[in-house]
Homo-oligomer: A and B are copies of this chain.
Amino acid sequence: MLFVIKVGGNVIDNPALLQSFLEDFAAIKGPKILIHGGGKIATRIGDQLGIESNYVNGRRITDAATIDVVTMVYGGLVNKQLVAKLQAVGCNAIGMTGADANVIPAVKRPVKEIDYGFVGDINTANLNVGPLKAMLDAGLTPVFAPLTHDTHGQMLNTNADTIASSLAIALSAHYEVRLIYCFEKKGVLRDAQDDNAVINLINRSIYAELLEQKVLTDGILPKLENAFSAIESGVKEVLIGHAADVRSNTTGTVAGTLIC
């Protein structure tokens, strides 16, 4: 079983939760890949550099100055700090972006109503997972920043959830893959005000009901879409759960929400 685990920005922003998550992650037996979000630090550093953050429909617009900031902060500061911290707890991590070894070639998002700027869209069929297989076979743990490239010299900003599901799908040709989204909630909640109202299982028909009942928060919808897309493209299992539950979600009892 290969574990493809995404850890969200809110975990990155919480030093104590991050440290215990990294220790739990390091203790997972067998092959594993980590994909990290960015956290608030890119916005903070962008602000300090006088670069305004622009959002449309909750998505960051990545202009030329912003792609440099996210390349620095996600690809450099956050990624290397995670690698160094994982090395310190016995996990032989290797930092990656989609440009490295050309694992994730992407296409700059075409401009329709909105110009998202330097944002990369992924065609899962184009991923080059050979280098990742070789790393995993050698006992290395790839750690991905949420960045891709256009193969013509330009780095691109790509959603970490999407990178996680794309890697999980592409690697499912070679492994049984469990894709786990770790964030700061115990799973998908039936009631956003009640942190314990975890929905244990969601399939397409339950999802349709939940949408109709309008009980899901906006933030969880793309995660669920990514999850269904992964399941329908060969990934064995998808879990959405708390970063603090990553050990149980890679060993025994599932905590959180199972997507099937």
Contact = CB atoms under 8 A, between A and B. Distances in A.
A72 B95 CA distance: 13
A95 B99 contact: yes
Contact of A140 (B49, B83, B101): B101
A80 B131 contact: no
B45 A84 contact: no
Interface stretch (A148-156, A190-198, A246-254): A148-156
A74 B76 contact: yes
Interface in A48-97: 48-50, 68, 71-77, 79-81, 83-85, 87-88, 92-97
A51 B122 CA distance: 37
A66 to B, nearest CB: 12
19 contacts: A45-B72, A48-B49, A68-B77, A71-B77, A71-B81, A75-B77, A75-B95, A76-B77, A76-B80, A80-B99, A80-B147, A80-B155, A81-B155, A84-B153, A85-B153, A92-B102, A95-B99, A95-B100, A131-B140
A101 B97 contact: no
Nearest to A100: B94
Interface of A: 45, 48-50, 68, 71-77, 79-81, 83-85, 87-88, 92-97, 99-102, 130-131, 134-135, 138, 140, 147, 149-155
B71 A154 contact: no
- Count this chain's copies in the assembly: 2
Contact of A131 (B72, B94, B130): B94
Nearest to A153: B88
A77 to B, nearest CB: 4
A83 to B, nearest CB: 5
Contact of A87 (B75, B138, B151): B151
Nearest to A137: B134
Which of A81, A85, A94 has the most C-beta atoms of chain B within 10 angstroms of its own C-beta?
A94
B152 A88 contact: yes
Given A71-B81, A76-B77, A94-B101, A87 B131 contact: no
A171 to B, nearest CB: 17
Contacts of A74: 76
Nearest to A70: B76
